[in-house]
Structure 1
Amino acid sequence: MTDQELIEKLSNEESRNHGFNLLVREYQERIYWHIRKMVIDHDDSDDIVQDVFVKVWKNLDKFRKDSSLYTWIYRIATNECLNFLRKKRNKFFLPINDVANELSDKLDNSSHISGEEIQMKLQKALLKLPDKQRLVFNMKYFDEMKFEEISKITKTSVGALKASYHLAVKKIEQNINPY
């Protein structure tokens, strides 16, 4: 189903619930994995996905249609993810390194992450990046998004995103192979 068809169903009071169910089925898995790459933990990811779709439902009338439905949902998911990580740090008064260590421990114990050594090194290197840098790297590298698309989602200039991605790649290379 196209975004336009979904928007039409969501705009009609009679088909709104059905349209929302279709929207969730269409985007839930991609949103889950976007969030999961940032927060690592399955239960936290599930909770955030639920929060994302609750916000989508409550704000359907505010969707301006100046971007794709997916971009709008992705932006909500990105903001929820960053808010979750910030709250986690603030709640426990943790410096960024402690949060990275906690997420790294979850990564070691996760059955959903491949245990191949290089994959594990990459994931642990990603956890050492600042949240927004990790987000940009994930969107570009794993989700294969264009900088223009990431720019719409994050409301950041393409130049700043390219610089952030470049810095993330350099930091990852240093963490994986420090010599």
Structure 2
Amino acid sequence: MKSDQQIILELKQEKTKQAAFRSLVSTYKERLYWHIRKIVISHDDTDDVLQNTFIKVWRNIDNFREESGLFTWLYRIATNESLTFLNQKKKKTFVGNEESNDYILENLQTDPYVDGDEIQYRLQKAIAQLPDKQRLVFNMRYFDDIKYQDMEKILETSEGALKASYHHAVKKIEEYFKSEE
């Protein structure tokens, strides 16, 4: 497997760009898929957002300044594409955050690709009811084990704000489980 630096170098050279891009996609598509999936929930929507993410990477690789790692840059693009997708969906259906959360819950219940036991389903249901930013931070920290310093670069927000969002998300999830008892 090629290193990120090797992939970047080859992506920026015309004769090796296509092969390097295939290598990048094969290296990161699964991790990005699951990151996006936790944001948009639906498998079909995730595939669309993932494709848009890689299109944006292809178009903008020459602008990548390598101030952050490749992984961080890809996650930032995937996150932004996911949030843009959700915002466009809200605008198209004229829904607010409450209805948006209902849409996410409905996708969670009807998606044939969602599996797991009752506890996992209840956790996903609790997470789906969080505000967008808290849901995003919780998923990145809890499931993806992304450090706050990396999240800070991906989400372009302060570490303190991220820790506060995570803390509030955990408290809301705990309250959800207590209310379900």
- TM-score bracket, normalised by the shorter chain, equals over 0.9
Higher alpha-carbon deviation: 52-61 or 107-116: 107-116
Give the match for residue 105 of structure 1: 106
Name the residue aligned to 1:128. 129
Question: Aligned partners of 2:157, 2:65: CA distance in 1, in Å?
Answer: 19
Partner of 1:17: 18
Which residue matches 1:141? 142
For residues 143 and 93 of structure 1, the distance between their equivalents in structure 2, rounded to whole angstroms, comes to 31
Which contiguous aligned blocks of 4+ residues in structure 1 show a shift greater than 4 angstroms?
none
- Residue of structure 2 equivalent to 1:118: 119
* CA displacement at 1:67 relative to structure 2: 0.6
1:50 is displaced (CA, Å) by: 0.4
Q: CA deviation at 1:156?
A: 0.8
1:160 maps to 2:125 = no
Deviation at 1:115, TM superposition (A): 3.7
Amino acid at match of 2:162: L
Structure 1 length as normaliser, TM-score? 0.96
Matches within 5 A, 1:40-55: 40-55=41-56
1:48-82 deviation per Cα after TM superposition (whole angstroms, max 9, x unaligned): 00000000000011100011111101000000111
* Identity score, percent: 51
How far did 1:114 drift? Answer: 2.3
Q: Which runs of 5+ in 1 are unaligned?
A: none
TM-score (ref. length: structure 2):
0.95
Q: SS where residue 133 of structure 2 aligns?
A: helix
User: Residue by residue, what CA displacement relative to the aligned partner does 1:102-134 show, whole Å, maximum 9, x if unpaired?
Assistant: 221221122322241111111111111111111
DSSP 3-state at the match of 2:164: helix
Q: Measure, in 2, the Cα distance between the counterparts of 1:176 and 1:37.
A: 20
In 2: Cα distance, 1:124 partner to 1:161 partner? 21
When structure 1 is superposed on structure 2, of 115-124 and 166-175 the one drifting more is 115-124
Equivalent position SS for 2:94: coil
- Matching residue of 2:90: 89
How many residues align structurally? 179
In structure 2, what is the Cα distance between the partners aligned to 1:93 and 1:111? 26
